């Protein structure tokens, strides 16, 4: 009597871990796509824990609580602010205007100054203090 072995090998693919792998790949690509978004706008807020330094030639524009405007420690009336800023930026390649505004001024005061920079395509940065 001849006894046959019943060890037939059948190839199987275990797909139980495939769901986990697909989930992690999906999560990875979602996170990467939001990090590399070129439309992200960096905003400097009035208070920050760390500061950002600029190595370019800077022009400081300070506004006091009484709405007196100073360009590089020289007082300028608001009506003459635009031509004085243009005059201060002449001769400087890629000028950066650093705005020093007290935190109790309104947003409209900031927008009034930034409109001048936007009109003449000047780079403006809001100075912050560390906590």
The predicted pLDDT at position 1 comes to 62
Listing DSSP states for the chain in one string gives --PPP----------TTHHHHHHHHHHHHHHHHHHT-TT------SEESS-----S-EEEEEE-TT--EEETTEEE-GGGHHHHHHHHHTT-SS-EEEEE--TTS-HHHHHHHHHHHHHTT-EEEE--EE-
The predicted pLDDT at position 18 comes to 85
- pLDDT, mean of each 10-residue run, the chain (131 residues): 72 81 90 62 49 66 85 86 88 84 84 87 81 65
The predicted pLDDT at position 41 comes to 35
The predicted pLDDT at position 52 comes to 58
The predicted pLDDT at position 40 comes to 41
């Amino acid at each position: 009597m001849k006894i046959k072995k019943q060890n037939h090998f059948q190839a199987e693919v275990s797909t139980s871990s495939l769901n986990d792998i697909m989930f992690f790949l999906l999560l990875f690509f979602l996170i990467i796509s939001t990090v590399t978004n070129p439309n992200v706008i960096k905003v400097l807020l009035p208070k920050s824990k760390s500061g950002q330094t600029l190595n370019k030639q800077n022009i400081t524009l300070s506004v006091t609580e009484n709405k007196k405007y100073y360009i590089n420690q020289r007082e300028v009336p608001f009506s003459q602010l635009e031509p004085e800023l243009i005059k201060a930026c002449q001769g400087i390649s890629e000028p950066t205007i650093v705005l020093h505004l007290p935190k109790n001024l309104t947003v409209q005061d900031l927008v009034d100054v930034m409109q001048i920079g936007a009109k003449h395509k000047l780079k403006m940065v809001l100075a912050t203090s560390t906590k």
